[in-house]
Structure formats: C-alpha cells, structure tokens
Amino acid sequence: MCGIVGAVAERNVTAILLEGLKRLEYRGYDSAGVAVYTNDGKLLRTRRPGKVSELEQALIEEPLVGRLGIAHTRWATHGAPCERNAHPHFSGDLAVVHNGIIENHEALREQLKALGHVFTSDTDTEVIAHLLHEKLKVQPDLTVALKATVKELHGAYGLAVINARQPDRLVAARSGSPLVIGLGMGENFLASDQLALRQVTDRFMYLEEGDIAEIRRDSVQIWDIDGALVQRESVQYRDGAEAADKGEFRHYMLKEIHEQPVVVQRTLEGRLSQNQVLVEAFGPQAAELFAKVRNVQIVACGTSYHAGMVARYWLEELAGIPCQVEVASEFRYRKVVVQPDTLFVSISQSGETADTLAALRNAKELGFLASLAICNVGISSLVRESDLTLLTQAGREIGVASTKAFTTQLVGLLLLTLSLGQVRGTLAEGVEATLVEELRRLPTRLGEALAMDSIVEKIAELFAEKNHTLFLGRGAQFPVAMEGALKLKEISYIHAEAYPAGELKHGPLALVDNDMPVVTVAPNNELLEKLKSNLQEVRARGGELIVFADEQAGMINGEGTHVVHMPHIHDILSPILYTIPLQLLSYYVAVLKGTDVDQPRNLAKSVTVE
Ligand code: HGA
C-alpha cells in the first residue's frame, strides 16, 4: 500500500522526502507526489503517475526548495492512477496526503460541493482537504481544526497535512493506518513506516489509534482519541536493526515466525472499518468487479497453494462461491474450461514465481472475468500484470521456508472472502462483523500461540531420530496439515505426508507403527469427534500421536499421546493459528538435526524458473 513521508526542518526537505518515498517503493504504488512550503512563501506541489524516479526527474528540472513538506506514494483505491488523482491534494492553503479509505466520502463530497468547494480529483482523499479548509474558517488553529475534521471521517486513515498559513508545523492523524514520528535534532519527521526515515534518524515515536500529532522543528505534541495530551514512548533503533538482521534470534526463520502478530496486524491496517472489510482495499474497480463474480479459480505454488486451499473452504462456506484451486505448474499446461464470471486469483510471496506468472499470462487468454494477485512485493510482475491486488504486509522474508508470508496470505484471502460475500450479499447475518472483530484479536491470539515455543521445542525431540511422519487434519485444517508436512520436509529433510484424517484407513494406516509419529491439528469444531476416532485408529497400531488441540476440546495426554493445548479461537480463523505450532515444530526438529534452517539444500527463495 501507499506511503507517507513528511518533514519540518531548517534545511531543504525535498531530498529527504524523495529518499523516504524511494525506501517505501517496495510496497507498491502507482503514482507519487510531493508538496513543499517553499522558501519564498508558496505552497507548491509536483505529482507524477508511475515511478518515484519520474517525480525525481521532474524535481530536478523544476526544484522545490523549502523547509516544510509532505510526500506520498499512492496505490489507487478511488479514482484512476493519474496525475490529477495523485496526492498531495490541495484546498486553499492546505495540502493533504492520506493512506487508507474514507468510506463516507460521497456524502461529504456533496456537502462540500454545496458549500462551494470545487473538486479536482476523483479520490476520497480530497474531501479531507476541503473539510479541513471548512473547519479552519471556524477555528483557525490547524491542529484544533484537524481534530474537528477527523470526527467526521469514517473509514481508515493515516494522514499528514501542511498549511501555508501555519508553516511552522506538520499535523497528522492516525486511525487504522500506521504513522510514526522520526525525532531529529532541531528537525522532525513523519512517515507511514520508520524505514522511510532511517537515513535521517534512528529515534521514533509510534502514533496509536486515534492519535493526532502536531510536529514542529523543536517539539512534538500528541493527543489521544479522547483529546488528552499524551506522551508516547520513543524508541531508538541501533544501527543496522533493519529487516535484514536476525536480532535476538538464531535464525531468520525463527525471527519471521515471531514477527507474525505484527505483520498480520499490518496486513489488516487500513482494510477494516468498524464492522466490515473495506472492499476498495482491493483497488478502485474491486466493488464493481466483485459484484459480477460467480466462481473463483485460485492458482499458486508450494506454501501459497496451501493458502489457496484454505481459502476454498472459506469462499464456499462463508461467501457461497464455488472455488477451484490448482498448482500453477499444472494449470499452465492443461486445457482449462473456464466458467463464466470467474475471478482468477494468483498467490505468491515474491510475485515473480515463474509458474504462477505464466499461469496468469495464460489466464488472460482464457476469458476470466478479471485477475487478482495476493502478493508480498508491490513492485513485482504479478502485481503489475493483475487487474486487482491485495498486498500482504509481511515485510522481507529471508528464510527460504515461508512462514509469515503464509499467514498474511491467509489473512488477505479471508479479507477477499468477506469482501466478495459482502458485495454479493451472500454472507450470513452478522458473520462479517463477528469475523472483523475476531481478525482484530488475531494478533493477540498468535502471540499466545508463540508463547508455547518452549513446549513445542520439547515435543520436537520425539522426531530427532525419525525418518517419516504423517500429518492429519480435517476440513480447512487439511491444508494446514499439508503446510506442516511441507515445512518439515523443507528444513529437516524428514519425509512427511499430509492426509485428510478420513483417508487414513484408505491406505496410509498401513504405514503406521511406533517409528512413524502422527501429527494432528484438532480445533474444537464439529469434526472433532470424527477426528478423535481417527486418532484411536493410529493408537491401536502403536503410532505415537502429537495433537495440537483446542484447550476446550477435552483432549488429554495419555500413553503415546502428546496433547498441546492451543488458545481457543473462532473456527474460521483456526487455520491461521494452528499454523504457528507446526512452523515451530519443523523449526526445532531442523535445529536438532543440525540442518541449514534458513537455506535448506536444493531450495531457492523465489522460484523464478520453471
Ligand atoms: N484512498 C486514497 C488513498 C489510497 C491509498 O491508501 N493507497 O495506498 C486514494 O485512492 O487516493
């Protein structure tokens, strides 16, 4: 998603703003712009569709020089990606940049037009500029007027404003879209991600939900959601403490496993309103296209394919939309019959996976309604070539075995399911509000699952001498079992296979003996009783069971049965939660076996060849 950078300093800020935008480029965007209060007292802006380098070229040709400015990379949700719609947006002496979606923009636009405001873009963002302009007529202090303005905004925003009449400050507001203040010496900064400001400072202050900030050269003031003046803690990052650092962890993979609460939170940011998913998060034409979708075809490879398989359960159960899932290397070479009004969904961490890209390119010839990419890299080919995109916010994933990319893909796919169901009116009453609430709690639940790290580490000892393992699951937990088996194979080189638990007696039971541990994921759902019977079948053959079960499922340790109690969670979200102990299990088994966890033999991170 898009990025915000702002600066108030004694020196010219344009280069700082541009460098900040470059550092946010990896997130994906379609246009960029900067507004500066110039040294000769004018508020000027330069905006360009396309890359930051084009904006930079324009600024070389016609420089903007000033000590106060804001900048933005836009990923369009309302209005085409063109210069007119690029941020900053102006109203009178004001310039505004915004990340997120203003849901009540239509009603506000009408009111503001009636008051004589002329709109020059199709964006939802422009209403913020004009509304603030109105408020300033009553209350000339920018910060006070901003507080009044945000009270009328519904939706999600991280926004920054400058005013030519009060050029001593930059003001900002956060609700549903992150913002961080960078603290300098006699200069201060703002950005949607601290990475954008690492070239100018290493001290940061994160805004919390509902915060309003007034940032001057030599002071920062923050008010919380209730209007109380508050102090937010400042944090200092030591040099090099960026993504490419293992920090306190022994391997990138373990670090990335532990990052999941934070990256899931980021993936949700700006995409939820009070009780709904913001459909525009998928792009400006999403609502119109989603209304036409009658089928979904998901195509992906490896771990992303497993995410797609989970999504199939969600799409059919929650949104009532038929869904097929296929590995890209098969899909691309097969004669495919496409049902009318089918949405083609591709999933890839890197967005450069050769088979998935080729499948997308083939799909364009096959008469799909539209293509949508769920991807972690905004500047990837998959994103560029798809009609719609949802960027996961997993950050850089270095461990070859994918972890945080998978769980954020699942979050993206659940947002897709709810959006399709919402637009098509096929969700059962109250489901969306309940799941939005559950999604908000998900980072905390993931943190609880991660706190079981040392319990799982102990369980891993059971596998150190084994050569084969079986993973079982039912329903949406079957793909989770597949993902668990894949992780174990990838990094510990133990042969692992996943089966839907009901298939056990149709073959794999023949393999079960005391040399073949059986790992099972068992949330507390309507399939639990059936699963318990399957587990009896394993025990009766002397197989050792490792069961990850809901704390309310009533499963207890016994001879040859090791039960790990998981925090209780809504059944729909359980695939995301139960992935965590399986990731930890494969990690600790690999550590015990002494393999190269982050770079397992024969594997590459981004499979850009067929
Ligand atoms: N809704 C605004 C901002 C979009 C955004 O957050 N992009 O990533 C727009 O469409 O301009």
Q: 605 catalytic, yes or no?
A: yes
Mean confidence (pLDDT) of the chain: 92
Q: Residue 236, Cβ neighbours under 10 Å: how many?
A: 10
Q: What is the mean pLDDT of residues 90-115?
A: 96
260-270, pLDDT tens digit by residue?
Answer: 999 999 999 99
Q: Is 76 in the pocket of ligand 1 (CB under 6 A)?
A: yes
Confidence (pLDDT) at 247: 80
581 CA → ligand 1 middle, Å? 36
**Residue 2 and residue 98: Cα distance in Å, rounded?**
9
User: Cα–Cα distance between 423 and 338 in angstroms, integer?
Assistant: 22
Nearest to 348 by CA among 371, 375, 329, 325: 375
Residue 242 scores a pLDDT above 60: no
Question: Residue 1: CB within 6 Å of ligand 1?
Answer: yes
Around Cβ 407, how many Cβ atoms within 10 Å? 29
pLDDT band at 237 (very low <50, low <70, confident <90, very high): confident
Distance 251 CA to ligand 1 centre (A): 36
Q: Is 117 in the pocket of ligand 1 (CB under 6 A)?
A: no
Cis geometry, peptide bond prior to residue 88 (ω within 30 degrees of 0): yes
- Confidence band (pLDDT; 50, 70, 90) for 609? low
pLDDT recorded at residue 1 = 55
| Coil, strand or helix at 380 | coil
Domains and CATH numbers, the chain: 3-236 (3.60.20.10), 252-593 (3.40.50.10490)
Instruction: Render pLDDT for 376-419 as a digit per residue (tens, 0 to 9).
Output: 988 788 988 999 999 999 988 888 889 999 999 999 999 999 99
3-class SS letters over 489-527: HHHHCCEEEEEEHHHHHHCHHHHCCCCCCEEEEECCCCC
Instruction: Summarize the chain as % helix, strand, coil (round to 5).
Output: 40, 25, 35
User: Per-residue pLDDT tens for 244-297?
Assistant: 577 889 898 999 999 999 999 999 999 999 899 999 999 889 999 999 999 999
pLDDT at 436: 97
- Whether ligand 1 lies within 6 angstroms of the CB of 101 is answered as yes
What are the distances in angstroms from CA 396 to CA 88, 206, 246, 600?
28, 21, 12, 18
Per-residue pLDDT tens digits for 221-233: 999 999 999 999 9
Report CA(158)–ligand 1 centroid distance (Å).
10
